A and B are shown apart, each in its own frame.
Chain A
Amino acid sequence: GAVVSQHPSWVICKSGTSVKIECRSLDFQATTMFWYRQFPKQSLMLMATSNEGSKATYEQGVEKDKFLINHASLTLSTLTVTSAHPEDSSFYICSARRGGGNEQFFGPGTRLTVL
Chain B
Amino acid sequence: GDSVTQMEGPVTLSEEAFLTINCTYTATGYPSLFWYVQYPGEGLQLLLKATKADDKGSNKGFEATYRKETTSFHLEKGSVQVSDSAVYFCALSDTGYSTLTFGKGTMLLVSP
Contacts and interface: CB of A to CB of B under 8 A. Distances in A.
Interface of A: 4, 6, 34, 41-44, 46, 49, 93, 95, 102-104, 106-109
Contact of B43 (A41, A43, A49, A108): A108
Interface of B: 4, 36, 41-46, 89, 93, 97-105
A9 to B, nearest CB: 8
Contacts, number: 38
Given A102-B97, A108-B41, A43 B103 contact: yes
Contacts of B100: 34, 44, 46, 104
Contacts of A41: 104-105
21 contacts: A4-B43, A34-B99, A34-B100, A43-B103, A43-B104, A43-B105, A44-B89, A44-B100, A46-B99, A46-B101, A49-B99, A102-B93, A104-B100, A106-B36, A106-B43, A106-B44, A106-B45, A107-B43, A108-B41, A108-B43, A109-B43
